[in-house]
Amino acid sequence: MPRLWTDTIDTHRQAVREATLDSAAALVAQRGVRGVTMVQIAEAAGIGRATLYKYFPDVESILATWHQRQIRRHLDHLASVAAAANGPADRLESVLRTYARISTLVGAHHDQRLIDFLHRDPQVARAERELRRMIGGLIREASAIGAVRTDVRPGELAEYCLHALGAARRARSAAAVDRLVGLTLNGLRPLG
């Protein structure tokens, strides 16, 4: 098969997949997890049902794939935030602030049933480990310059940060998120 033809087919497949994921997410946001069917997703994506079934066997697999894409985007965004910041302490603070804002958006845009459904996926546990490693590494870097306490292991402090900032999902304002981030950062400061 000629390369141009292969590239065109691959591009088309990727476009169909992305349209399917985006359509499913929009429908679930409007109707809830249980209110969406494969027929509705196919119509919203502008594809036939048979085509949709070539890509995904059911609504749950579409949502799981969408969620995996979202997780990857969030992790990549956090990594780019860390890379753009100046110095270890700034990297840590920037990533924690961004994580809290992401948590706020997730809490605001998804009902608890969807969150519970999506968080059964083993990909979530892998992403959480990756996030803990990222934040633990940033804490390790910041503690090396004296910006973070050293009486608690970086992994434990990373866990503390994630749990504390998880409350941002229920925050009602940007000011509330900023207060949570401030409290979390205060808990990381060196003693004395």
Total residue count of the chain as it appears in this document:
192
- Rounded Cα distance between 104 and 98, Å, is 10
Using one digit for the tens of pLDDT, what is the confidence trace for 72-85? 999 999 999 999 99
Looking at residue 30, its pLDDT comes to 86
- Rounded Cα distance between 18 and 163, Å, is 32
Assign 110 a pLDDT band (cuts: 50, 70, 90).
low
Cβ atoms of 167 and 160 within 8 Å: the answer is: no
Assign 7 a pLDDT band (cuts: 50, 70, 90).
low
In the chain, where the domains are located: 1-57, 59-192
- The tally of CA atoms less than 13 A away on the side-chain side of residue 131 is 26
Using one digit for the tens of pLDDT, what is the confidence trace for 18-69? 999 999 989 988 887 788 999 999 999 999 999 999 999 999 899 889 888 9
For residue 19, what are the contacts with CB-CB under 8 A and spacing of at least 6? 45, 46, 47
1 vs 109, residue with greater confidence = 109
For residue 44, what are the contacts with CB-CB under 8 A and spacing of at least 6? 23, 24, 26, 27
Rounded to an integer, the average pLDDT of 136-154 is: 97
- Rounded Cα distance between 24 and 20, Å, is 6
Rg value, the chain, Cα: 20
Pick the CATH number of 1-57 from 3.40.50.300, 3.40.50.970, 1.10.10.60, 1.10.1060.10: 1.10.10.60
Residue 123 identity? Q
pTM (predicted TM-score): 0.80
The answer, yes or no, to whether residue 104 has pLDDT greater than 90, is no
Average pLDDT, the chain: 87
**What class is the 59-192 domain?**
mainly alpha
